[in-house]
Amino acid sequence: MAYENILVETRGSVGLITLNRPKALNALCTPLIRELGQALDAFEADAEIGAIVLTGSEKAFAAGADIKEMSGKSYMDVYMEDFITNGWERITTCRKPVIAAVAGYALGGGCEVAMMCDFIIAADNARFGQPEITIGTMPGAGGTQRLTRFVGKSKAMEMCLTGRQMTAEEAERAGLVSRIVPLADLLDDALKTATRIASMSRPVVMMVKESVNRSYEVSLKEGLLFERRVFHSTFATEDQKEGMAAFVEKRQPNFRHR
Ligand code: HXC
């Protein structure tokens, strides 16, 4: 498949997607979002792929939705095409884990896309922000909702109302990113992390992802019940038998992803 706005590679059992509109700081135009969805579909369908890394450039993960594209749109345009539900949310429906490896700017829709991934590894130069207010609009892809769940009301409110950017350190302290690594190590680290996840049982990886995500949707009691039922169902997998046998026999497990 020929892509114009992203680069798509496989690194062993990991699918790597690199946002690639350097002249526009990876602004998320509609064709880019469409290609991102197609790349995710392809990795999702590829049995060799166990995890996906989504990254940008050293200067920008993505500086937001494409302002030049949006600037001419009317209310009727955005309403009728359901901008942005259309396409963007494909990241959130991916069953395989998606890691955002963020360097430089993750602003507006860029920050929102990073938050749609399963977790964020940040380079030390990463900057997160929701600057939509400064151009007379507001977050439309989760900035007021996911950011608030990540960092709490006070920080989310301040960021969305002022457009202030968070440094990588602040983002880590606030729980927005799982770890900070030196810029030079970002891709290696994200690929190693994804490779480790891909080495685990694929069905169990999906069950863990589904279970953690469930915690956002339901009460603690319902979430715990869901978790316990899914935990029970891991005992129906061959990989659970293999994993526990390997521990008892003091050897590495050989998961067959079933
Ligand atoms: C379109 C963008 C862009 C964007 C940068 N560019 N961000 N084009 N949409 N979001 C383009 C610039 O126009 C310029 O191209 C080139 O990228 C380099 O940008 P500069 O501004 O010259 O770079 P710099 O001075 O280093 O400043 C970097 C920056 C700034 C601080 C990130 O570009 C910036 O503020 N960008 C906009 C950030 C933003 O407001 N994002 C939220 C968008 S709204 P040319 O060819 O002009 O030189 C949004 C809504 C999401 O995301 C809602 C759901 C969809």
pLDDT at 51 over 90: yes
Taking only the tens place, the pLDDT of each residue in 152-198 is 999 999 999 999 999 999 999 999 999 999 999 999 999 999 999 99
Taking only the tens place, the pLDDT of each residue in 64-74 is 999 999 999 99
pLDDT at res. 212: 97
pLDDT at 1 over 90: no
**Residue identifier of the C-alpha nearest atom 18 of ligand 1:** 24
pLDDT at res. 91: 95
- Which residue of 20, 21, 23, 25 sits with most ligand 1 atoms within 8 Å of its CB, as the best mutation to test the pocket? 25
Distance CA 85, CA 66 (A): 15
To 5 degrees, how large is the angle CA 211–CA 217–CA 221? 70
Task: Let me know: does 234 contact 251? Beta carbons within 8 Å.
Answer: no
Q: Which residues line ligand 1 (CB under 6 A)?
A: 24-25, 27, 63-68, 84, 105, 107-109, 131-132, 135, 139-141
Mean pLDDT score across all residues of the chain: 97
Taking only the tens place, the pLDDT of each residue in 111-140 is 999 999 999 999 999 999 999 999 999 999
pLDDT at 85 over 80: no
Which entry of 109, 110, 142, 143 is annotated as an active-site residue?
Answer: 109
Distance CA 204, CA 160 (A): 36
What is the whole-number distance in angstroms between the Cα of residue 133 and the centre of ligand 1? Answer: 14
Q: Return phi, psi of residue 41, to 5°.
A: -55, -45
Residue 109 annotated among the catalytic residues of the structure: yes
According to DSSP, the residues that pair with 105 across neighbouring strands are: 60, 127
Helix or strand (DSSP H, E) at 250: none
What is the whole-number distance in angstroms between the Cα of residue 67 and the centre of ligand 1? Answer: 7
% of the chain exceeding 70 in pLDDT: 100
- Which residue of 20, 33, 34, 67 sits with most ligand 1 atoms within 8 Å of its CB, as the best mutation to test the pocket? 67
Taking only the tens place, the pLDDT of each residue in 201-214 is 999 999 999 999 99
Domains of the chain: 6-198 (3.90.226.10), 201-249 (1.10.12.10)
Mean pLDDT value of segment 48-56:
98
pLDDT at 234 over 90: yes
pLDDT at res. 84: 80
